[in-house]
A and B are shown apart, each in its own frame.
Chain A
Amino acid sequence: MASVFLRLMSALFALAALAISPVFADGAFPQRPIKLVVPWGAGGGTDAIARTLGLLIERDLGKPVNVMNITGGSGVMGHQTVAMAAPDGYTIGLITAEITMMHHQGLTKLSGDSYTTLGLVNIDPAAVQVRADSPYKTIQDLVAAIKANPGKLKASGTARGGSWHLSLYGMLKAMGVDPLTVPWVPSMSNNAALLDLVAGGVDMVAGSHPEARALIDAGKVRSLAIMDDEPSKLFPKVPTLESATGTRWESGVFRGLAAPKGLPKAVEDRLAAAVKTAYESPEFKQFMDSRGFGRVWRDPKAFADHMAKVDAESGALMKSTGLVK
């Protein structure tokens, strides 16, 4: 109760102070709490990463970092909130792979260029999963079956035009298979798609290893190949696409911290340093490893380059497969 009273009094005091002195002493960044915007819901993987990073950044900067989940519009709202915020460093956000795709779909004008990048902290490569009792033991089996029965095998993993959809279509295209011979069954989450896979609703699911982990461990689902340059730490026995088929195609989702465009240089450097410190902390390492999330670091420049590369790939893929006009 005492602290409530104190806060009430300090609020009243603040009101008085506002009236008397509009000028407030300027000091080193940060002076007040920072908002960390998450474009996805509380409790998801992106949210958990943001909250862990938030605590670690808070420890470094010495001011509270408050995580705000701004959901809606399949990520558009949250990404927009970060881009449109005042470029003062007090609003930052955990932006995700969707930022490289949404503008192709005409959902927003924002792209990776709309942000001051602070550092990429995670990449989770795509993998192809099938039911444990399915006849497809290798990725070649699966691709051969697709070629033999065009239109019969169904795939799922995310919404129509989502990142896993593009990963799979990109893989098929790279292997010389017409992606449109595998109808995409939209799903609201990778989890829902995997469940449907187990129940016999679809034939394959594209998604990350951490997402499929519980069902792979349960012996319900088998992962055939991962679209990365090295096997995942979670399932090192699952071959990379290149080692299994000779086709090189890497694809995955990423998450990184970003701020609005036009940040003062000093603020940008301070925040980027705090993100790097958080990334390198043993707590973050332990958290990411325990969840099976891929720990990958890209400094602000490399993060921007990564987004530009993924952006170009996604755009070309979406146009060639008719996902966008």
Chain B
Amino acid sequence: MDPVQTAFALVLDPYVLVVILASAFYGLFIGAIPGLTATMATALLVPVTFFMPPIPAVAAIVTATAMAIFSGDIPGALMRIPGTPASAAYADEAYAMTKKGQAELVLGAGLVFSVIGGLIGTTILVFAAPSLAEVALKFSSFEYFWLVVLGLTCAIFIASDNLAKGFASLTLGLLVATVGMENPAAFPRYTFDRPELAGGITLIPMLVGLFAVSEILRFAVSTAPTLKLEQDRFGSIFRGQWKLLKQYPMATVRGSLLGTAVGALPGAGADIAAWISYAVSKKFSKTPEKFGTGHVEGIVESGAANNSALSGAWIPALVFGIPGDSITAIAIGVLYLKNMNPGPTIFMENPQNIYAVFIVFFIAQLLMLPLGWIAIKTYKQVLEVPRNVLMPLILLFCTVGAFAINNSVFDIGVMLAFGVLGWLLEANRFPVAPVILGAVLGHMLEENFITSMIKADGNVWSFFQRPIAGTLGVLTLLLWMVPIVLRLSKKGRVAHG
């Protein structure tokens, strides 16, 4: 029998379909709960997939992660708490739209453009996997260094109106990243002899604290329930989406392509794709001044980007066994376990298996439309619970989620500390998101800088000597010039005027 036909037979098995459906709801649930990430959903799925044959095992992971990345948008839009880090880039924007009474539009855009991004990303995964991975494979630490600097630059540019405060938040995040001994010299820094700090400050408890606990604290002291849903009934979330697609075709395609490319780069996943895409969208927009005030354009682009990044991450994972992000790092383990060893041979030895995985990717994206719709509709039920009842329950989920990452009570303390910090930062108009980005990218920045310096025997010019690194480096430096040039020309005009 033809492998493609076999693949369809493998996927359309009732057992596999039930697994896909169950993991879809699971992914929607985990993603919609602040602090529980798509990565965590995958890690927690691994023991369950132990009991399954290869196809349903991989299908469970693919479906759950796709759903989780989308449903992370829901609490972002409705409560300004991104469900997963991948939604953090545009949570403020989405919440601003909800406040303007455009909840349906923003939720629908999140859903529809997640699906479109996912479909485009998957199509690229299927057709261009080997050649795209070749490009990513040419990236050494020099290229990665510039990529990270580019990401950080974007973070400051989109952070806030106050450049100094955005920079302060980012630097704070970078300082947080230096804690622990996970640095190239393996020297324990700022650990105060606490073994819990030796591994550094864990990202998830920090994220839960900054985004969720601070929100609960804010609720506890608010006179009016400020986080009351701006809207508790949704009309059709699909209305107006076709118009958006016609209005922003470039943004959709650009977000999907950029997302796939960033996802395929090892180490950079859906969250970085969303940040970069949001910044790119603002740069290319005809109306950049509307960004941050509840404007849908950036959400269209970065919403498509984070879901396409998910597919993109599978490209190097499947073709070379090299994870594109933390999710596929776990998924690769499952592939090996299920005797579907990643590598070019995966297309030769058991082609039906790999085709079956591709089919699952498409099914998962399409399934997102009806299930995402249900998730949005029932999310309303969740939030119709009185908020003073809901908040303690969210606090319990956060506590358990923070604990579950390392099975460590220390992380509950970390969550508390960053909760209070986030609360103080927010009240004093310091943006919170750059703290997270600094903490995530700090490790990559330092590691790639130090290892490059060792490789080049301390020669700084080596950062420009490789063709791709040189291009990225010059690009970054040019980007840095933009605000300076703008400011100078503005001053010049004022002086002349």
Residues of A participating in the B interface, judged by any CB pair closer than 8 Å: 41-45, 47-48, 51-52, 55, 67-74, 76-77, 80, 105, 107-108, 151, 154, 156, 159-162, 183-188, 191-192, 194-196, 198-202, 213-215, 217-220, 287, 290-291
Whole-angstrom distance from the CB of A192 to the nearest CB of chain B?
Answer: 8
Q: Are B266 and A43 in contact (CB under 8 A)?
A: no
Stretch in B26-34, B212-220, B359-367, B446-454 touching the partner: B446-454
Q: Are B181 and A73 in contact (CB under 8 A)?
A: yes
Which residues in window 249-275 of B have CB below 8 A to A? Answer: 266-267
Q: Are B199 and A77 in contact (CB under 8 A)?
A: yes
Contacts of B186 in A (CB 8 A): 74, 105, 159-162, 186
How far is A156 from B141 in the complex, measured between Cα atoms in Å?
A: 12
A48-B333, A51-B50, A196-B140 known; A154 vs B454 contact (CB < 8 Å): yes
Contacts of B140 in A (CB 8 A): 196, 199-201
A73-B195, A215-B321, A217-B344 known; A195 vs B337 contact (CB < 8 Å): no
Q: Are A215 and B320 in contact (CB under 8 A)?
A: yes
Q: Which residue of chain A is the closest to B200 with respect to CB atoms?
A: A72
Q: Are B408 and A201 in contact (CB under 8 A)?
A: no
Q: Are B195 and A80 in contact (CB under 8 A)?
A: yes
Q: Which residue of chain B is the closest to A54 with respect to CB atoms?
A: B47
The 3 nearest A-B residue pairs measured at CB: A72-B199, A214-B321, A73-B198
A43-B43, A72-B195 known; A201 vs B141 contact (CB < 8 Å): yes
Q: Are A191 and B323 in contact (CB under 8 A)?
A: yes
Give the interface size bracket for B toward A: 35 or more
Q: Are B141 and A213 in contact (CB under 8 A)?
A: no
How far is A194 from B195 in the complex, measured between Cα atoms in Å?
A: 30
Contacts of B139 in A (CB 8 A): 195, 199
Which residues in window 123-156 of B have CB below 8 A to A? Answer: 137-143
Contacts of B143 in A (CB 8 A): 199
Q: Are A74 and B181 in contact (CB under 8 A)?
A: yes
Q: Are B406 and A185 in contact (CB under 8 A)?
A: no
Q: Does B292 contact A (CB under 8 A)?
A: no
Q: Are B196 and A187 in contact (CB under 8 A)?
A: no
A71-B406, A196-B141 known; A214 vs B342 contact (CB < 8 Å): yes
Whole-angstrom distance from the CB of B405 to the nearest CB of chain A?
Answer: 8
How far is A200 from B143 in the complex, measured between Cα atoms in Å?
A: 11
Q: Are B454 and A47 in contact (CB under 8 A)?
A: no
Q: Which residue of chain A is the closest to B323 with respect to CB atoms?
A: A191
Q: Are B451 and A47 in contact (CB under 8 A)?
A: no
Jot down 21 A-B pairs with beta carbons below 8 A, ordered by A.
A43-B333, A51-B46, A72-B406, A74-B199, A105-B186, A186-B186, A186-B450, A186-B454, A188-B443, A191-B322, A191-B323, A199-B143, A200-B140, A200-B466, A201-B142, A201-B452, A201-B455, A214-B320, A215-B343, A217-B345, A291-B337
How far is A45 from B333 in the complex, measured between Cα atoms in Å?
A: 7
- What string of 1s and 0s marks CB contacts (under 8 Å) between B298-331 and chain A? 0000000000000000000001111100000111
Q: Are B46 and A42 in contact (CB under 8 A)?
A: yes
How far is A80 from B195 in the complex, measured between Cα atoms in Å?
A: 9
B195 interface neighbour in A42, A68, A77, A192, Cβ under 8 Å? A77
A217-B343, A290-B339 known; A76 vs B330 contact (CB < 8 Å): no
How far is A201 from B262 in the complex, measured between Cα atoms in Å?
A: 20
A72-B195, A195-B322 known; A218 vs B344 contact (CB < 8 Å): yes
Contacts of B333 in A (CB 8 A): 43-45, 47-48
How far is A195 from B322 in the complex, measured between Cα atoms in Å?
A: 8
Contacts of B44 in A (CB 8 A): 42
Q: Are B339 and A218 in contact (CB under 8 A)?
A: no
Contacts of B329 in A (CB 8 A): 43
Q: Which residue of chain B is the closest to A75 with respect to CB atoms?
A: B199
How far is A126 from B139 in the complex, measured between Cα atoms in Å?
A: 25
Which residues in window 455-480 of B have CB below 8 A to A? Answer: 455, 457, 466
Q: Are B345 and A185 in contact (CB under 8 A)?
A: no
Q: Which residue of chain B is the closest to A201 with respect to CB atoms?
A: B140
Contacts of A41 in B (CB 8 A): 43
Q: Does B426 contact A (CB under 8 A)?
A: no
Q: Are B336 and A290 in contact (CB under 8 A)?
A: yes
Q: Does B230 contact A (CB under 8 A)?
A: no
